[in-house]
Copies of this chain bind each other. A is one copy, B any other.
Amino acid sequence: MHADTPGEFDIIARYFTRHSARRDVLLGVGDDAALLQVPADRRLVAAMDTLVEGVHFPAATAADHIGYRALAVNLSDLAAMGAEPSWALLSLSLPNAEPAWLQGFADGFFGLAARHGVELVGGDTVRGPLVVTVQVLGVVESNGILKRSGAQPGDLVYVSGIPGEAAAGLNVIQTGKAGSDAAMQLRQRFERPEPRVELGRALRTLATAAMDVSDGLLTDLGKLCRASGCEATLNLDLLPASLLMRTLYDAEATERFALAGGDDYELLFTLAPERVAEFEHVVSPLALCTCIGKIARGGQAPGTVTCLRNGQTVAVNAPGFDHFARQ
């Protein structure tokens, strides 16, 4: 190995130990485990997501995007519960310890962590293939949390942001459609998804159900419906238009990205019709949210999502992302 390559303990000391800003961190990085103070009137929320090189991001992805993304996808899970993120643990399996790579990764990770007041309190650094696992801990008030299972027949279905742009961004990277402003902005949507933490906090006592869109809108809406014992209609005419996607792709590809593309990390949620006015007032300033469908009573097959175009049922083939799906 290169003589400047830092050892495991140097890596932790040099790149992953920061001055503690949170008073609820009684013991952070450096001991066998972290010691944390959860407020007595709060409940603990825990999520963990893994990114594998070549599976969740292309092999050439810059280190700062990987660091950012590994935290962002976890913050998105907490956002989907309406929780406030507090602490993170990081497991980094690395083929080698390249200082520039480590610095980039740390910059991406800590930049996003600082914006959300999240502190890194522990983890592990090992030699192996490039695999990043982040675990985020947060807290939520005891009078309610957002679940997937709360949707009721008659509720309206909303999504934040513009579904599909992250998947289009990945396609831009994979096919080398570089150069244009639209390509750059779509790429950014894949590389720097914005976890909707503030939106999730605002929805906590407003929405009946929520989840984040990570495996594709159609698949994820199906999961929400299954968890709620309901069905849903999804009105394709209501999908928010993406000028960025339409600059580079035709209408068919754009719709496929919107329905089947993963990686958006936007929130999908349901709202009782009588809460819409309050919702518009409170939530609209935080993020673009679009009503795209409606929850219906679950029939023979809860979880079914029926797509409509011009008021007519249409068949859509848009399987979501499943790592172990039969090919």
Indicate whether A323 sits within 8 Å of B32 (C-beta atoms), given known contacts A46-B137, A89-B48: no
**What is the CB-to-nearest-CB distance from A141 to chain B, in angstroms, rounded to a whole number?**
11
Among residues 6 to 48 in chain A, which have CB atoms less than 8 Å away from a CB atom of chain B?
6-11, 26-27, 30-38, 40, 43-48
Q: Are A97 and B326 in contact (CB under 8 A)?
A: no
Inter-chain contact B43/A127, CB cutoff 8 Å:
no
**Which of A131, A147, A211 has most chain B Cβ within 10 Å?**
A131
Q: Which residues of B contact A67 (CB under 8 A)?
A: none
Interface residues of A in 100-140 (CB under 8 A from B): 121-129, 131, 133, 135, 137-138, 140
B326 touches A7 (CB 8 A): yes
| B38 x A44 contact (CB < 8 A) | yes
Q: CB distance B55 to A126 under 8 Å?
A: yes
In angstroms, Cα B25 to Cα A43, docked, is: 10
- When the two chains form their complex, are residues A43 and B26 in contact, meaning their CB atoms are under 8 A apart? yes
Task: Decide yes or no: A126 and B50 within 8 Å by CB, A38-B38, A45-B34, A97-B324 being known contacts.
Answer: yes
Interface locus among A74-82, A161-169, A170-178, A237-245: A74-82
Q: Mark A51-87, 1 if CB is under 8 A from B, else 0.
A: 0101110000000000000000000111011010001
B40→A40 contact, CB < 8 A? yes
Q: Which residue of B lies closest to A90 (CB)?
A: B48
Residue of B nearest to A210 (CB): B32
- Contact residues in B for A37 (Cβ distance below 8 Å): 43-44
Interface residues of A (CB under 8 A from B): 1, 3, 5-11, 26-27, 30-38, 40, 43-50, 52, 54-56, 76-78, 80-81, 83, 87, 89-91, 93-94, 96-97, 121-129, 131, 133, 135, 137-138, 140, 145, 147-149, 211-212, 227, 322-327
The 7 closest A-B pairs by CB, nearest first: A52-B128, A33-B47, A40-B40, A127-B323, A32-B80, A133-B133, A129-B129
